[in-house]
Amino acid sequence: MRLNVQPNWDNLSIAVVGATGAVGRRMLATLEERNFPVGRLSALASARSVGQRLPFRGGVAEVKELREDSFMGIDIALFSAGSSISKKYAPIAVESGCVVIDNSSAWRMEKDIPLIIPEVNPSALGEKYGIIANPNCSTIQMVVALKPIHDQYRIRRIFVSTYQSVSGSGQKAIEELKQQSRNILDGKSVENRVYPHQIAFNCLPHIDVFMENGYTKEEMKMVNETHKILSDSTIEISPTAVRVPVFYAHSEAVNVETELPMKVDEVKDLLFSSPGISIVDNPDKNEYPLAIKACGTGDVVVGRIRKDLTRDNAINFWVVSDNLLKGAACNAVQIAELLLKRLA
């Protein structure tokens, strides 16, 4: 598995699969904002989106239909079109000489597929490049914050509750929250199409399907992906994932217990000096991470860092990140940047 023969590193051919979706559009914007060396861009989507014109670098990219021959001459393909599309087309893209960076859950737990957060486990990228998996959004922001703590103090146990925005369910969920909110404020009835219950002015402790163990698939993603990314299956993880009536950015309350003793000030200094993390932790001035302020940024924002009152060697913190950026598009482009550093 390799890139197309002798690519021009300053003038790459890039495909975005699922370009018209919420994450796909953010991928285009992130490629532009980070000045990624795109020489030729292929915006790919389903037949119903063909002909749409998406803004890119002062011009437009016209959407073309995703087909089996769409990857000829493509160097890197960013996929964000769901697991079924990735399962079908990612191997075809690789056979065409293309490296795939996939945002779906299709390949994350495959043994030979690297699951990458560039600030956390860049060495896991390896030397054979075919399909590279992008972790789940809720996993990414938690693990970026946990990695320096694990390296310094060795994590024993994690309790995490997530408060996840509706954009994690796609554009239809965003529109459903808008419409339900309008209807309720106008005294009208609401329809539930995306979620099993009303999401406006409500919280749903239910993301993805329920598993036999009583946890949801989203919660088990956090467990299994964290173990794989940190290369440590001994860490005990107990998650609860909640959908909240927020449009963008996920928030998480994390409690972490370590084997070695921690001091809050030391942890703050450690996180402050770690890549990809911003600290907002000044409760005297009501300053702490907020979803509305995390939107549009690629950092993981951490605050409310404090000692656990009930356990030694344990702390609590609050972590917020834009799920469409660091949780998806930005992390994918960062993986592509890491790939270029390895191969250039």
pLDDT of residue 126: 87
Pairing mode, strands 76-79 and 12-17: parallel
CATH number of the domain residue 76 falls in = 3.40.50.720
Which residues belong to the active site?
A: 137, 250
Q: Is residue 156 situated within a structural domain?
A: yes
CATH number of the domain residue 249 falls in = 3.30.360.10
In this prediction, residue 127 has a pLDDT band, given cuts at 50, 70 and 90, of confident
Q: Is residue 169 situated within a structural domain?
A: yes
68 and 203 share one domain: no
**Spatial distance between the Cα atoms of 158 and 316, rounded to a whole number of angstroms:** 10
Q: What's the Rg (C-alpha) of the chain?
A: 20
pLDDT digits (tens, 9 = 90+) for 242-261: 999 999 999 999 999 999 99
Count CB neighbours of 50 within 10 A. 14
pLDDT of residue 342: 86
162 and 279 share one domain: yes
pLDDT of residue 2: 47
E strand or H helix at 52, and its extent?
none
166 and 46 share one domain: no
In this prediction, residue 9 has a pLDDT band, given cuts at 50, 70 and 90, of low
332 and 210 share one domain: no
**Spatial distance between the Cα atoms of 20 and 15, rounded to a whole number of angstroms:** 12
60 and 127 share one domain: yes
Strand ranges (E), the chain: 12-17, 38-45, 53-56, 59-62, 64-65, 76-79, 99-102, 131-133, 155-164, 236-243, 250-258, 277-279, 300-307, 314-321
109 and 246 share one domain: no
pLDDT at residue 5 is higher than 70:
no
304 and 332 share one domain: no
214 and 289 share one domain: yes
pLDDT at residue 97 is higher than 50:
yes
Show the domain range for 227.
Answer: 139-323
308: left (phi > 0), else alpha (psi -120 to 50), else beta? beta
Q: Is residue 2 situated within a structural domain?
A: no
pLDDT digits (tens, 9 = 90+) for 39-78: 999 999 999 999 999 999 999 999 999 999 999 999 999 9
Q: What percent of the chain has pLDDT over 70?
A: 97
Q: What tokens were used for 16?
A: 């975005």
152 and 294 share one domain: yes
